[in-house]
Structure 1
């Protein structure tokens, strides 16, 4: 049984590598289907489930496909709403990551949102209300200038500020939590001004629950 499950997961990984559209973009619905099917097969193959691999595969296929389609649809809507705002939307096939750079959301060293950007976050809140089958994690990040304690606190306050606007705009608090990572998850080198600017950001991570 261990060999069977391992083979399924390895085969799925190989299939995922081929899940690209002709233009090079990723086919997230297909990715969701493959991941869901693999998970369903693995679960169905377990001795305690009693549902069998075929039924598990069918269940996982439906769930994975639905999640992939949901992410594709929501990504398209968010890209349209956030065009020219400085925000970016990345679809990994299992989550959406909306990145808000410090340069358009906060003054340097401040956790007070620019008033103009409150409206942009309200757009994101509307999308979250329209797509209620997800959980939301708001994560604050900083560069490495200053002490660990200072940056940790700043990242937490900035994440909380964004989460508060989402809640005030109608997103249920039970779906959401905020955390700060300080400077521990950089996306660029902290050795250059440009790299540090990229690291100062807030991410809104949307994870489907379907």
Structure 2
């Protein structure tokens, strides 16, 4: 009998030990699970923050893309209008793309005789058409740029000290005509004389010099937003 009791005691003790170990392991497992749950929660929080940042960045990128597309459409629309305008002027008038935007380019032969700033008859006709375009776009402003080649002034030296003076005088003549005959507001027109400083072709040959003698019109509309 005593032997049986002893055996039962050992079995009971073994079971007790196993239960204690099992409880300890269960406690450790629960603790590990809680820690893992906290880690997973923190990771999900970081993921949510990252997702929010990505969504915000995506919205900004879409806004920039939409603005770029809008600007491109506006530039294409403006260029198409200017192409129609220069087509009606003829005589070598053209549209030239620049970093500032498309410009109307009128060669010297349309507007002036060599070395002079007095408008020719066909130059006045061309400016009437440009004034009409500006009247149909009342919010637009225009910059009139005078340009020359790099040949020193000889025949009209009594009028102009340099090509800079000549280019500025030609831009001023265009200004006066657009205001006086074209009936445009003075504050819509700005002028600049660049002389030979902004060539679009080589000044080493007659063909290039002819291209450089020009007056250009940069038409700008105020942007909203």
Q: TM-score range by the shorter chain?
A: 0.5 to 0.7
**TM-score in terms of structure 2 length:** 0.61
1:95 alignment partner in structure 2: 101
Q: Give the CA deviation at 1:176.
A: 1.4
- 2:99 and 2:183 mapped to 1: Cα distance? 26
Which structure: larger Rg? 2
* Conservation of the 8 A alpha-carbon contact between 2:86 and 2:104: no
- 1:187 and 1:93 mapped to 2: Cα distance? 13
- 2:173 and 2:80 mapped to 1: Cα distance? 27
Structure 1 segments of 4+ aligned residues over 6 angstroms from their partners: none
Aligned residue-pair number: 160
Check 1:105–1:58 CA distance in 2 against 1; reply closer, same or farther (3 A cut): same
- 1:187 and 1:208 mapped to 2: Cα distance? 25
* Structure 2, unaligned runs of 5 or more: 1-55, 154-159
* Conservation of the 8 A alpha-carbon contact between 2:165 and 2:193: yes
Asked whether 1:181 is paired with 2:155, we answer no
- 1:98 and 1:200 mapped to 2: Cα distance? 14
Structure 2 counterparts to residues 1-210 of structure 1, below 5 A: 53=60, 56-57=63-64, 60=67, 64=71, 67-82=74-89, 84-91=90-97, 95-146=101-152, 149-168=161-180, 169-210=182-223
* Structure 1, unaligned runs of 5 or more: 1-43, 46-51
Q: Does 97-106 or 55-64 show the bigger shift?
A: 55-64
* Conservation of the 8 A alpha-carbon contact between 1:135 and 1:208: yes
